Copies of this chain bind each other. A is one copy, B any other.
Amino acid sequence: MEELKKYVSVKDEDRFYHQGAVELLVFNFLLILTILTIWLFKNHRFRFLHETGGAMLYGLVMGLIIRYATKASDVESGTVYECEKLTSGPSTLLINITNQVYEYQYKRDISHHNVNGHQGNAMLQKMTFDPSIFFNILLPPIIFHAGYSLKKVCVSFLHYKMLHTLSECLSYLSPDRLIMYGFVKAMVHIGQLKGWEFHFTDCLFFGSLMSATDPVTVLAIFHELHVDTDLYTLLFGESVLNDAVAIVLTYSISIYSPKENPNAFDAAALFQSVGNFLGIFAGSFAMGSSYAVVTALISFTHLTKFTKLCEFPMLETGLFFLLSWSAFLSAEAAGLTGIVAVLFCGVTQAHYTYNNLSPDSKMRTKQLFEFMNFLAENVIFCYMGLALFTFQNHIFNPLFIFGAFVAVFVARACNIYPLSFLLNLGRKQKIPRNFQHMMMFSGLRGAIAFALAIRDTESQPKQMMFTTALLVVFFTVWVFGGGTTPMLTWLQIRVGVDPDEDLKAEATSQSASNLDKNTTKAESAWLFRIWYGFDHKYLKPILTHTGPPLTTTLPEWCNPVARLLTSPSAYGDQLKDDDTDYIINNDELTENYESSAHIPVQDRTGSTQATGKEDIHEGDLGLGGYKLQLEHTVGQPQMNSLA
């Protein structure tokens, strides 16, 4: 009794005084170590271990320590109690133990096979924190940042080019998963997993979650080494869209799962699943975009006599942050996928809202999201390291792991090479062999694959998938991430490319062959042209301070409405300097190609400050010309002949 009292009092004190502090401190410590290591590495130009790899390594070591240096502190570890009175698990359980009522909160269902001695190790349990924290708190900043800088990539490299690349990347998406599925299916047929309920949908599930690539390590190195912008954009666009599709697909599959006969191939169910997929994707897209549009409208508001929000940078930043996060949370709450929503929210925010922010807020939001991205990423990678030892229900199945590794690589190879071949047929500027190899090599798996895998670890197949996914992440981040620099050298990919210098050097030497290029490009991209025309003429004036006044773009009879909606500043200096720096005006696709494509490209520095509408068009053409020149000069100077 004495001992019991002591035990309870210790627990009480623990609860009262430093609950949670120790666990957070462990993460803080790991992150500090990681940052110091990165600093050290940066000093020595050491690129074999990226920060994410470092974070993972430290997490691994810490997990090892926690696993084997702490003991199961609880007396009652791994004992299962019977309770006949209950028929289902309530979310809160009140239990009367020696005249003291204890409140217990439902955590999860657990299979009998999962009950083991580590169940009671409080430290291990606390370290493996709730997957919902991943989804709701750590992932959104990363994805939002990706969306937000996807736009920046567009701008700082090639705007039109990027869109083209994105449409190409879309075609990279589908086969990956099917091949993964084929491999997993083959694994099942070998008979290794006969004992379990390993369904058709489980294979699909694993296939789709493993197809979410995470190029963050590779892109960081590319950025540092100034690798060819062409390759950068290709890889970035591919992986971001790939992730979005992987997430929605995983989700649709998990909805498809609880069917009558999960092993059979049910055509109706498949169509329903495809419908789900499309619906969820569209819904998430709409949700994300609409939040961004709301933000843009609020930050715009020239309708009322209000002081502009941008005069209160703190409120502006706060609103921006909260609305973007809400896009994620609303989508999740509505049964859509928040990650897709927040991705497109980021893109839309960068396209519209960013223009309305005060210079101070532009800086603030950029730095804030950068910082959150940095922290969240490192926390996730630390946690992955930790999870290898602290997660309680790993199932290591060597054959499945081997199969998964093979599947991952073969699927990527079957994806990259044939598709590049197909794309090269229709592409004037071919994707060179070494780029293809590099893209093949950059198929890292990271945070998203992990997050998708940890969401559901109830059944044995899911646990095995989780363990396997974790190992694939470890391997790819360390081996591929570490091997990026040698691989770049070995493949003789151009590094040290300064996009601005390229721009300048090539602009003066090759202004002759633009015309034909321009027209062909403009023809091939008619869908984008329509969209950009609409965007430039109507959306930008309504949502931002840039673009032509609505009174000039809308028909005559809309004039009263147009005047109401147009920002007073739109009549004057529509194109401010900071706007041209960031959000490039897309006239080149809509008006100028046809009307003024014969005007020789102006020297950008030599052009006068654009103030009126006429001037803007000239300025735009200058930019457009540059970009189209860069388009076929970067990486492939020999491709300048006509198609």
A residues near B, CB below 8 A?
4, 7-9, 11-12, 15-22, 24-25, 28-29, 31-32, 35-36, 38-39, 42-43, 73-83, 85-98, 100-112, 114-115, 119-120, 122, 125, 130, 132-133, 135-137, 251, 254, 258, 298, 306-307, 309, 312, 314-315, 317-319, 321-323, 325-326, 328-330, 332-333, 335, 338, 363-364, 367-368, 370-371, 374-375, 455-456
Who on chain B is nearest to A314 by CB?
B374
Q: How far is the CB of A55 from chain B (nearest CB, A)?
A: 12
State A365–B375 Cα separation when bound (angstroms): 14
Least distance between A478 CB and chain B CB atoms (Å):
21
Chain B residue nearest in CB terms to A133: B20
**Are B97 and A115 in contact, CB atoms less than 8 angstroms apart?**
no
Please indicate the chain B residues that have their CB under 8 angstroms from the CB of A24 in the complex.
136-137, 325, 329
The complex places the Cα of A89 from the Cα of B120 at a distance, in Å, of 12
Q: Nearest Cβ distance between residue A403 and chain B, in whole angstroms?
A: 26
Closest to A86 in B: B97
Task: Give the CA-CA distance A78 to B96 in the complex, in Å.
Answer: 12
A307 contacts across to B, CB distance below 8 A: 42-43
Q: State in angstroms the CA–CA spacing of A94 and B392 once bound together.
A: 15
Determine whether the beta carbon of A25 is less than 8 Å from that of B330: yes
Contact present for B97 and A28 (CB under 8 Å): no
Shortest distance between the CB of A587 and any CB in chain B (Å)? 34
Distance in angstroms between the alpha carbons of A183 and B333 in the assembled complex: 48
- In the assembled complex, 7 residue pairs joining A and B whose CB atoms fall closer than 8 Å, in A order, are A21-B329, A28-B322, A35-B322, A39-B312, A42-B312, A90-B120, A318-B375
Residues of B close to A328: CB separation below 8 A: 21
Measured in the bound complex, the distance between the Cα atoms of B363 and A306 in whole Å is 28
Known A103-B109, A318-B374: A98·B88 in contact at CB below 8 Å: yes
Name the contact of A364 in the complex, choosing from B89, B107, B332, B367 (C-beta under 8 A): B367
What chain B residues lie within 8 Å of A321 (beta carbons)? 371, 375
Give Cα A314 to B223, complex, Å.
15
Give the residue name and chain of the B residue nearest to A85 (CB).
B81
Given contacts A107-B105, A110-B103, contact A98 B92 (CB under 8 A): no
Contacting pair B80 A76 (CB below 8 A): no
Report if A89-B94 is in contact (Cβ < 8 Å); known contacts: A318-B35, A371-B314. Answer: no
Q: A32-B326, A43-B306, A307-B42 are in contact. Are A21 and B456 (CB under 8 A)?
A: no
Residues A96 and B111 in contact, CB atoms below 8 Å apart = no
Contact indicator B101/A112 (Cβ below 8 Å): yes
Name the distance in Å between A331's Cβ and chain B's nearest Cβ.
8
- Is B122 touching A91 in the complex (CB atoms < 8 A)? yes
Nearest B residue to A258 by beta-carbon distance? B9
Compute how far the CA of A258 lies from the CA of B97 in the bound complex, rounded to whole angstroms: 22
CB contacts (< 8 Å) of A120 on chain B: these are: 90-92
Name the B residues within 8 Å of A115 (CB-CB). Answer: 94, 101
Judging by beta carbons under 8 Å apart, are B39 and A370 in contact?
no
CB-based contact A81/B83 at 8 Å? yes
Contact of A38 among B94, B315, B317, B326 (CB under 8 A): B315
Residue of B whose beta carbon sits closest to that of A131: B19
Partner of A80, one of B74, B95, B98: B95
Say which residue of B31, B91, B329, B375 sits within 8 Å of A25 (CB atoms). B329
CB-contact partner of A86 in B95, B103, B335, B456, under 8 A: B95
**Cβ–Cβ contact A18 & B326, under 8 A:** no
- Checking B28, B93, B103, B333 against A18 with a beta-carbon cut-off of 8 angstroms, the contacting residue is B333
Q: How far is the CA of A38 from the CA of B318 in the complex (A)?
A: 12
A537 → B minimal CB distance (Å) = 30
Inter-subunit contact B100/A335 (CB<8 Å): no
**Roughly how many angstroms separate A83 CA and B315 CA in the complex, as a whole number?**
53
* A371 to B321 alpha-carbon distance, docked (Å): 10
The 7 closest A-B pairs by CB, nearest first: A76-B90, A104-B104, A21-B332, A89-B102, A25-B329, A20-B132, A19-B132
With a 10 A CB-CB cut-off, give which of A7, A9, A120, A314 has the most chain B CB atoms. A314
Chain B residues within 8 Å of A95, by CB: 80-83, 86, 89, 93
Known: A28-B329, A83-B95. 4 other contacts (CB 8 A): A9-B258, A20-B136, A92-B119, A103-B119
Interchain CA distance A251-B120 in the complex, whole Å: 30
Q: A85 — which chain B residues lie within 8 A by C-beta?
A: 81
Assess the B74–A91 pair: CB atoms within 8 A.
Answer: yes
CA distance A83 to B85 in the complex (A): 11
Hey, which chain B residues are within 8 Å of A7, CB to CB?
Answer: 88
The reply to whether A104 and B101 contact each other, CB–CB distance below 8 Å, is: no
Inter-chain contact A74/B101, CB cutoff 8 Å:
no
Bound-state Cα–Cα, A487 to B368, Å:
38
- Measured CA separation A122–B338 after assembly (Å): 23
Task: Return the chain B residue nearest A455 by Cβ.
Answer: B16
Q: Which residues on the B side are within 8 Å of A122 (C-beta)?
A: 91-92
Residue of B nearest to A373 (CB): B314
Known: A75-B88, A322-B35, A456-B16. A94 touches B111 (CB 8 A): no
Knowing A18-B335, A314-B370, say if A86 contacts B81 (CB, 8 Å).
yes
Please, how many angstroms separate the alpha-carbon atoms of A578 and B39 in the complex? 26
Residues of B contacting A87 in the complex (Cβ-Cβ under 8 angstroms): 4, 97-98
Q: In the complex the two chains form, is A125's CB within 8 Å of B91's CB?
A: yes
Residue of B nearest to A38 (CB): B315
Cα A90 to Cα B16 with chains together (Å): 17
Contact A93 B98 (CB under 8 A): no
> Nearest chain B CB to A150's CB is how many angstroms away?
19
Q: Which of A4, A17, A125 has the most CB of B within 10 A?
A: A17
Given A80-B96, A81-B96: A335 touches B17 (CB 8 Å cut-off):
yes
CA distance A307 to B29 in the complex (A): 23
Closest-CB distance, A32 to chain B (whole angstroms): 5
Complex interface: chain B residues within 8 A of A106 (CB): 102-104
Residues A17 and B75 in contact in the complex (CB < 8 Å), given A24-B136, A96-B83, A109-B100: no
